[in-house]
């Protein structure tokens, strides 16, 4: 985390000549500085020189030991109060149509400067989190966010402050249940989505601060904190009874180790009882992905933050959430968008020719991983979605079986190369989980499709047991009956190809595609090899040609020619 953009340049711009406001005699340095800051901000927007002076002084005082708790808390309170007051003036003026555009811009700038100071205080001093809660700062901030959801600058700063205040998980339960912050964040995101779409068409970078796209990104970062910590708090609060826990333990000890392993059982998602706090946020996150993420391209901000929010979201239950993932109007729009993301991520990945390792930077692996985790969760809960995405991601099962699965140039082949990479990572495990869920979380189906050798490492990492008799039975050469047609050739479970497609290399077969000269050279090489073995005395090798002569099975070609001449 860095300071807000213009602050990051303050010290580097002129490090040798920093100006500061000197504290008055008998007053705390920070209290005096904030008194001057309050007056200057309230009087009008800051010029760059004054801004540099104020912020340098704030930073110096915050990082020094002279900072007093009471004065600092009072400073935070006054800044939040200033931002709230100016925001109310702006809202009343717009409502009553008593303000000009310049007046609105001026008041917004004052509120923005005050919120910027609060954001940097929260960044530079973790004690500001407690101060912010003690003064009741979050209700004020929630009111500012609710009434300024169409102003990117204000939304960006509100999102930044919420993110910094909630990064430890303190007070999150109250922020969700009492202040409805997830709903306010969702409202602000949806209000700015269409503005962000226009900005994107005009080439505006969402990485830059204070535009609609960057504001959505900042708000979703705060939303991720709320979702994650609220789920952890609620999960920790649920303590099962001793009797139910003991019975669960006994059931686990008596369970069959070969029973189908479920990778996703809902433990990582927000419970059904609590999801009503986050329904609007899930909808807003999906809309951000649909409208701001270019199809068939790698995910970028703010879609990456929306994906992070959806990691904790349920999918099939309750029905109010299910209709968000599979909307009635355009049933598979979101599923198609996600399948396009998978293709855009997987296909460009390169592999080392010698070691077959995946060449993808770790930061990109971290950024792309939520796509596969969300899809794996989705297809594990929805059989309808699994059947729809199976041919899109893995292709039809009746494809070309004469090619080894890992050599296929299709999306399925690329996913398999990621799975069988010799150096597994969290990203490759996420890809493997998705493929496993598409295979109904059944190791037999996955082996029949890709071959045991390609997926054995994944099964070991995930502790997925396989019936020892399965490979023996599958290795038999009896044709398997297809559900929709005539008998199909049995798949070799180790290679993933039919037995009939694998050429035999037994000694009885003729040498393939060898000329007469090549056969003569091969025979000569074998003759020399037999002769050397005989000379060493370690192994007594009988030359098959000499044995043929002695047994009379082979006659000298010269004698045969002589007998032919005599007969003539």
Per-residue pLDDT tens digits for 450-472: 988 899 999 999 988 887 777 66
Residues 6+ apart with CB under 8 A from 271: 231, 234
Is residue 20's pLDDT more than 50? no
- Give CA separation, 455 vs 18, 95, 261, 359, 433, in Å: 62, 63, 15, 20, 11
- pLDDT recorded at residue 177: 96
Work out the average pLDDT over 175-187: 96
428/369 Cα distance (integer angstroms): 9
73/520 Cα distance (integer angstroms): 95
> What tokens were used for 257?
């180790």
Is residue 70's pLDDT more than 80? no
Instruction: Say which range, 222-231, 302-311, 402-411, has the weakest mean pLDDT.
Output: 402-411
Higher pLDDT: 485 or 376? It is 376
357/59 Cα distance (integer angstroms): 47
> What tokens were used for 128?
């500001």
Is residue 260's pLDDT more than 70? no
> What tokens were used for 104?
């609105």
Higher pLDDT: 548 or 333? It is 333
Confidence of residue 248 (pLDDT cuts 50, 70, 90): very low
Residue written as tokens 């002569």?
549
Report CA torsion sign: 88, 90, 92, 95.
negative
223/469 Cα distance (integer angstroms): 49
Higher pLDDT: 506 or 390? It is 390
Residues 6+ apart with CB under 8 A from 483: none
Provide Rg for the chain, Cα atoms: 35
How do residues 26-69 score in pLDDT, each as one tens digit?
A: 444 555 666 666 666 666 666 767 766 666 665 565 555 444 55
How do residues 85-122 score in pLDDT, each as one tens digit?
A: 888 888 888 777 777 888 788 788 888 888 988 888 88
Work out the average pLDDT over 5-22: 34
Beta strands 487-488 and 350-351, pairing class: unpaired
Residue written as tokens 């809202």?
91
How do residues 265-295 score in pLDDT, each as one tens digit?
A: 556 789 989 999 999 999 999 999 999 998 8
- Give CA separation, 258 vs 388, 466, 470, in Å: 28, 6, 11
477/474 Cα distance (integer angstroms): 8
Q: How far apart are the first and last CA of the chain?
A: 104
Work out the average pLDDT over 428-445: 94
Nearest to 277 by CA among 183, 142, 178, 149: 183
Beta bridge partners, 480, equal: 488
Instruction: Say which range, 9-18, 76-85, 428-437, has the weakest mean pLDDT.
Output: 9-18
- pLDDT recorded at residue 104: 81
Higher pLDDT: 445 or 526? It is 445
- Per-position b or e across 522-559, b if 16+ CB within 10 A of its CB: eeeeeeeebeeeeeeeeeeeeeeeeeeeeeeeeeeeee
Neighbours of 180 (CB within 10 A): 16
Higher pLDDT: 119 or 128? It is 119
Higher pLDDT: 535 or 410? It is 410
- pLDDT recorded at residue 9: 27
Instruction: Say which range, 32-41, 197-206, 220-229, has the weakest mean pLDDT.
Output: 32-41
pTM of the model: 0.73
- pLDDT recorded at residue 94: 79
């Amino acid at each position: 985390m860095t300071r807000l953009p213009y602050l990051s340049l303050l010290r580097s711009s002129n490090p040798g000549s920093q100006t500061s406001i000197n504290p008055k005699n008998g007053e705390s340095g920070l209290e005096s500085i904030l008194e001057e800051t309050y007056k200057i901000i309230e009087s009008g927007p800051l010029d760059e020189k004054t801004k540099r002076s104020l912020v340098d002084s704030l930073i110096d005082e915050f990082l020094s030991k002279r900072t007093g708790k009471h004065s600092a808390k009072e400073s935070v309170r006054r800044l939040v109060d200033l931002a709230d007051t100016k925001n109310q003036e702006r809202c009343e003026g717009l409502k009553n149509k008593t303000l000009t555009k310049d007046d609105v811009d001026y008041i917004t700038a004052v509120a923005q400067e005050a919120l910027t100071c609060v954001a940097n205080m929260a960044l530079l001093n973790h004690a500001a989190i407690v101060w912010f809660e003690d003064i009741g700062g979050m209700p004020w901030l929630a009111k500012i966010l609710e009434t300024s959801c169409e102003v990117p600058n204000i939304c960006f700063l509100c999102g930044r402050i919420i993110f910094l205040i909630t990064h430890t998980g303190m007070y999150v339960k109250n922020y969700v249940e009492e202040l409805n912050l997830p709903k306010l964040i969702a409202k602000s995101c949806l209000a700015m989505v269409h503005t962000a779409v226009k900005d994107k068409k005009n080439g505006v970078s969402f990485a830059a601060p204070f535009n609609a796209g960057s504001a959505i990104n900042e708000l979703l970062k705060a939303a991720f904190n709320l979702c994650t910590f609220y789920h952890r708090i609620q999960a920790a609060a649920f303590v099962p009874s001793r009797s139910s826990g003991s019975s669960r333990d006994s059931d686990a000890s008596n369970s069959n180790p070969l029973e189908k392993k479920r990778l996703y059982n809902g433990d990582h998602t927000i419970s059904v009882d609590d999801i009503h706090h986050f329904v609007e946020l899930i909808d807003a996150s999906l809309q951000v992905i649909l409208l701001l993420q270019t199809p068939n391209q790698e995910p970028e901000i703010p879609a990456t933050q929306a994906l992070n929010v959806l990691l904790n979201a349920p999918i099939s239950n309750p029905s109010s959430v299910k209709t968000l993932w599979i909307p009635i109007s355009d049933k598979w729009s979101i599923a198609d968008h996600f399948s396009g993301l998978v293709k855009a991520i997987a296909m460009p990945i390169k592999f080392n020719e010698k070691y077959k390792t995946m060449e993808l930077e770790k930061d990109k692996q971290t950024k792309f991983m939520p796509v596969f985790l969300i899809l794996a969760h989705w297809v594990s809960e929805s059989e309808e979605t699994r059947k729809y995405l199976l041919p899109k991601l893995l292709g039809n099962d009746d494809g070309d079986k004469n090619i080894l699965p890992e050599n296929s140039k299709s999306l399925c082949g690329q996913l398999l190369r990621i799975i069988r990479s010799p150096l597994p990572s969290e990203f490759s495990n996420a890809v493997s989980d998705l493929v496993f869920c598409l295979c109904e979380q059944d190791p037999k189906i996955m082996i029949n499709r890709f071959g045991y050798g390609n997926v054995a490492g994944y099964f070991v990492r995930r502790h997925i047991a396989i019936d020892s008799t399965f490979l023996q039975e599958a290795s038999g050469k009896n044709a398997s009956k297809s559900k929709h047609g005539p008998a199909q050739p049995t798949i070799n479970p180790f290679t993933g190809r039919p037995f009939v497609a694998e050429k035999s290399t037994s000694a009885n077969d003729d040498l393939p595609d060898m000329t007469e000269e090549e056969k003569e050279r091969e025979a000569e090489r074998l003759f020399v090899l037999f002769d050397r073995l005989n000379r060493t005395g370690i192994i007594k090798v009988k030359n098959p040609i000499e044995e043929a002569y002695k047994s009379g099975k082979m006659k000298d070609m010269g004698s045969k020619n002589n007998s032919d001449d005599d007969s003539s």
